[in-house]
């Protein structure tokens, strides 16, 4: 649809204040861990590709784009050569990407050098995959950076993008980033470069860390409730934060985006599917039970799961194994952030007083932190369960190593609850594994494994999530 250029330019002018030599307002001084990778691809890309910054709604993609633009301006890139447009805005969406570029050049004359085009919520661009492919192939003087919170990966457009764009996945805030965002002053913790090095630390030093980290626990619980979405993380009222997060997920990501992008007509069934997953966060998915409860076909239920994963709202964790073991197994489903289920169900602070719910939240946070840190390193994540029901929550496999993680976020941990990880370690002849615990006093070796070939290490979830976030930032800055 053709929009009057005057009206379109008025909107673009608001989104591009640097054209008028004005600063970008309300921009955080600190950067997310993925900022360094984004800048490498924007400033000096290893290959001639567009940059796709993917992530759920309200996860901070727009802020990263603005920080990248600010960095380009500081480097001396002419303001006229930088365009930002969000296709979440009705005028820009109606105009379409080609008219947006045309209006940009009517207002701002191109200067010498590369052009930088930042396109927010690009899934609303008609035939977005074909358009970006064409830009990459034929406009070598342009760098395209685009975001998407619900990119339709099931459509053929995605296939045209193979080799045309580099994907940078932005998850919700880590616990470390949450602390930085909130500007909380806490006692300093020693830096950890690898979880493996903890096995070499003296027992007394580990005990000291447990005592120093005590003030972190309350903030970790607050993080599990508020979540890693920057906007809601800054809201003091948990009730208000949960209401806002629920609106973003249910009203926008599911009811609006799914209808607009995937042509979902049975929105109520999709919403109920997501509510079912919220009630079973971290559980093994029984598609037959899900389809029966919702009175939809198995094919429809599976399709809804695919769409929710495409919208970055859930993770699917396959069973550990190879070939038929995986084909016959069932996936575990985790929400993308520990705060999503409490927010969608409007549970307020009740999660903190419910040991089972708090344990699920800690398990979800653990998976998110490990996945975020290792997803670019060809690490395969899975869970393990035997015929007797013994299981291991999370297994990381890569580089010739298999490392199990069992989350036991409870006050007391008995031997019976550790039979799964002990059996798995013995069967696979592993030399180390981690028990993610609640109490900071637990940090250190599991005494029952001292005489075993496999050493199990108690690591409180508060410290794991803090250190994994810190390691991610350090890795990006190196």
Query: Over the stretch 445-475, which tens digit does the pLDDT of each residue have?
Result: 887 655 467 889 999 999 999 999 998 876 6
Closest CA to 208 of 462, 441, 449: 441
Q: How sure is the predictor about 399, in pLDDT bands with cuts at 50, 70 and 90?
A: confident
Q: How sure is the predictor about 416, in pLDDT bands with cuts at 50, 70 and 90?
A: confident
Mean pLDDT over 189-193 rounds to: 93
For 277-332, write each residue's pLDDT tens digit.
999 898 898 888 888 888 888 999 998 998 899 889 999 999 997 655 554 568 99
Q: Tell me, what's the pLDDT at 329?
A: 65
Cα gap 420→356, rounded to integer Å: 19
Q: Are 396 and 374 in contact (CB under 8 A)?
A: yes
For 227-253, write each residue's pLDDT tens digit.
999 999 999 999 999 999 999 888 888
Closest CA to 148 of 101, 87, 63: 87
Q: Tell me, what's the pLDDT at 294?
A: 84
Q: Tell me, what's the pLDDT at 475?
A: 60
Q: Tell me, what's the pLDDT at 185?
A: 93
Residue 158: is its pLDDT beyond 60?
A: no
The b-or-e profile of 302-337 (16+ CB within 10 A means b, else e) is ebbbebbbbbbbbbebbbbeeeeeeeebebbbbbbb
Residue 60: is its pLDDT beyond 70?
A: yes
For 336-349, write each residue's pLDDT tens digit.
999 999 999 999 99
Q: Tell me, what's the pLDDT at 157?
A: 47
Residue 365: is its pLDDT beyond 50?
A: yes
Cα gap 207→200, rounded to integer Å: 14
Q: Tell me, what's the pLDDT at 71?
A: 96
Residue 195: is its pLDDT beyond 50?
A: yes
The radius of gyration computed from the CA coordinates of the chain, to the nearest angstrom, equals 23
Residue 161: is its pLDDT beyond 60?
A: no
Residue 376: is its pLDDT beyond 80?
A: no
Per DSSP, 285 falls in state P
Helices 267-279 + 287-294 axis angle, to 10: 130
For 93-129, write each residue's pLDDT tens digit.
999 999 999 999 999 999 999 999 999 999 889 888 8
Q: Tell me, what's the pLDDT at 154?
A: 43
Q: Tell me, what's the pLDDT at 311?
A: 87
- Is residue 54 within a helix (H) or strand (E), and if so which, with residue range? strand 50-54
* Percentage of the chain modeled with pLDDT above 90: 65
Supply 464's token pair. Answer: 């794991």
Q: Tell me, what's the pLDDT at 172?
A: 95
Supply 330's token pair. Answer: 């069932």
Mean pLDDT over 387-416 rounds to: 90
* Domains of the chain: residue spans and CATH: 5-170 (3.40.50.300), 176-477 (no CATH)
Q: What is the mean pLDDT of the chain?
A: 89
């Amino acid at each position: 649809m053709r929009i009057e250029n005057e009206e379109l330019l008025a909107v673009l002018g608001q989104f591009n204040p640097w054209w008028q030599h004005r600063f970008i307002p309300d921009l955080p001084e600190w950067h997310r861990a993925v900022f360094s990778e984004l800048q490498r691809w924007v400033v000096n890309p290893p290959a001639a590709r567009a940059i796709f910054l993917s992530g759920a709604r309200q996860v901070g993609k727009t802020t990263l784009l603005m920080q990248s633009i600010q960095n380009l301006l500081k480097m001396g890139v002419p303001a006229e050569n930088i365009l930002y447009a969000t296709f979440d805005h009705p005028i820009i969406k109606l105009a379409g990407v080609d008219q947006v570029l045309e209006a940009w050049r009517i207002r701002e004359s191109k200067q010498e050098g590369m052009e930088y085009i930042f396109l927010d919520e690009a899934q609303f661009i008609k035939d977005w995959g074909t358009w970006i492919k064409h830009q990459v192939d034929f406009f070598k003087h342009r760098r395209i950076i685009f975001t998407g919170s619900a990119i339709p990966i099931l459509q053929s457009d995605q296939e045209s993008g193979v080799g045309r764009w580099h994907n940078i996945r932005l998850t919700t805030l880590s616990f470390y980033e949450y602390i930085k965002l909130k500007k909380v002053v806490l006692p300093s913790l020693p830096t950890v470069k690898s979880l493996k090095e903890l096995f070499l630390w003296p027992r007394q030093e580990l005990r000291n860390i447990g005592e120093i980290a005590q003030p972190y626990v309350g903030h970790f619980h607050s993080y599990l409730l508020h979540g890693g979405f920057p906007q809601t993380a800054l809201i003091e009222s948990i009730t208000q934060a949960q209401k806002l997060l629920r609106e973003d997920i249910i009203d926008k990501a599911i009811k609006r985006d799914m209808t607009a992008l995937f042509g979902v007509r049975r929105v109520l069934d999709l919403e109920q599917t997501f509510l079912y997953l919220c009630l079973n966060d971290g559980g093994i998915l029984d598609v037959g039970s899900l389809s029966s409860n919702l009175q939809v076909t198995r094919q429809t239920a599976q399709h809804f799961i695919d769409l929710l994963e495409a919208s970055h709202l859930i993770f699917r964790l396959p069973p550990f194994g190879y070939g038929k073991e995986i084909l016959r197994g069932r996936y575990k489903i985790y929400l993308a952030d520990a705060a999503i289920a409490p927010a969608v169900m409007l549970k307020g602070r009740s999660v903190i007083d419910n040991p089972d719910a708090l344990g699920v939240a800690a398990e979800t946070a653990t998976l998110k932190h490990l996945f975020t840190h290792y997803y670019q390193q060809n690490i395969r994540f899975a869970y393990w369960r035997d015929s007797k029901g013994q299981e291991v929550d999370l297994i990381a496999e890569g580089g010739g190593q298999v490392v199990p993680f069992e989350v036991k976020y409870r006050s007391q941990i008995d031997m019976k609850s550790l039979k799964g990880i002990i059996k798995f370690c013995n069967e696979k002849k592993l030399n180390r594994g981690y028990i993610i615990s609640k109490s900071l006093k637990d940090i250190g070796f599991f005494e029952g494994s001292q005489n075993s070939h496999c050493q199990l290490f108690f690591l409180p979830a508060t410290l794991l999530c803090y250190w994994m976030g810190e390691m991610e930032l350090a890795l990006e800055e190196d």
